[in-house]
Amino acid sequence: MLTLDRATYDAIVAHAKRDHPDEACGMVLGPEGSDRPERFKPMTNAAGSPTFYEYDSLEKLALYKEMWANDEEPVIVYHSHTATEAYPSRTDVDLAAEPGAHYVLVSTREHGNNPGPVEFRSYRIVEATVTEEEVAVLDAATTPPTRQGDPDGR
């Protein structure tokens, strides 16, 4: 199960909507081995495409240097789909290089960058095997998580 706080969830969704009609991409970093998404890092889609994303190579290198220096790792690797459901494409599966990460897809196909809900789903992708997982969004430290699909969830 992917558990993340409301602010991180909202930041990922806002980035996906802002970059629509192009795909948005980025990561959420956390302490190595913790599975705690703590540091939101939106990235540039160097492809500038509505059907494909590619990290800017210099930006990605700088980010990995930061992670190594801070003993961090990618906990969430995210990108958006602008015209299709939030499910990994064959290309997404082929490019999945972080076996410990949660791969989040946000579909902006219904409302684009306008107000309205998005489809927000998370997967584990290991050795080309895609497994969907539940998403729990923490609204505050003292409240239980809101599960994706609950009436109060987004």
For residue 143, is pLDDT > 80?
no
Q: What is d(CA 37, CA 27) in angstroms, rounded to the nearest whole number?
A: 9
pLDDT digits (tens, 9 = 90+) for 63-73: 999 999 999 99
Assigned token pair, 100:
């410990």
Q: What is d(CA 50, CA 36) in angstroms, rounded to the nearest whole number?
A: 30
Domain ranges of the chain: 2-147
Tell me which CATH homologous superfamily contains domain 2-147.
Cytidine Deaminase, domain 2 (3.40.140.10)
| pLDDT value at residue 8 | 98
| pLDDT value at residue 141 | 57
b/e burial code for range 18-49 (CB count within 10 A of at least 16 → b): ebbebbbbbbbbbeeeeeebebbbbbbbeeee
Q: Is the peptide bond before 21 cis (omega within 30 degrees of 0)?
A: yes
b/e burial code for range 136-152 (CB count within 10 A of at least 16 → b): bbbeeeeeebbebeeee
Span 11-35, average pLDDT = 97
DSSP secondary structure letter of residue 55: B
Q: Which residues contact 100 (CB under 8 A, 6 or more apart)?
A: 35, 73
Q: Which residue has the tokens 């309205």?
A: 116
Q: What is d(CA 90, CA 4) in angstroms, rounded to the nearest whole number?
A: 26
pLDDT digits (tens, 9 = 90+) for 116-125: 999 999 999 9
Model pTM score: 0.89
| pLDDT value at residue 135 | 98
